[in-house]
Amino acid sequence: MSNREEHLLSVLRVAAEAQSQLESALRPLDLTVDGWRVLMTIRAAPGASMAEVIEALVIPASSATRVVDGLVDLGAVFRTPAPEDRRRVTLRLSAEGVRRLRRAQDVIRAIEPRDLGSPLPD
């Protein structure tokens, strides 16, 4: 196996471990990793469109729609028509979304990565 292949496998192992730890930490908050990522995306870009969420998360449109639907059902995200084009839907965090995101940040800070070499930065 080449050094490049070994490095890629190592990166994928670390990513899988981080994903697993994040899933476990977020589960009690009724959030998935993708749900958390959507909340983070909307926080960074209030009024983001579904296309922007799909691009940021690099997931299929159907998956993004399911994640956003779940966040809407939780009351964490609002869908609203864009003022300039009522056919376009924008996404905004609700007070519940901000609350869940803050709670998620607290549990994420408590994660101590196993076998990742160093603690996560704040």
Please, are residues 117 and 13 in contact by the beta-carbon 8 Å criterion? no
Mean pLDDT of 95-121: 78
Predicted confidence (pLDDT) at residue 50 exceeds the cutoff of 70 = yes
Confidence of residue 115 (pLDDT cuts 50, 70, 90): very low
pLDDT for the residue 18: 84
pLDDT for the residue 84: 79
Mean pLDDT of 107-111: 84
Mean pLDDT of 25-32: 92
What topology is assigned to 3-109 in CATH? Arc Repressor Mutant, subunit A (1.10.10)
DSSP tag of 29: G
pLDDT for the residue 117: 52
Would you list the domain boundaries of the chain?
3-109
Question: Based on C-alpha coordinates, what's the Rg of the chain?
Answer: 17
Please, are residues 112 and 105 in contact by the beta-carbon 8 Å criterion? no
Q: Please, what is the angle between helix 33-44 and helix 3-26, to 10°?
A: 90
Mean pLDDT of 13-38: 91
- Of 61, 93, 99, which is closest to residue 80 (Cα–Cα)? 93
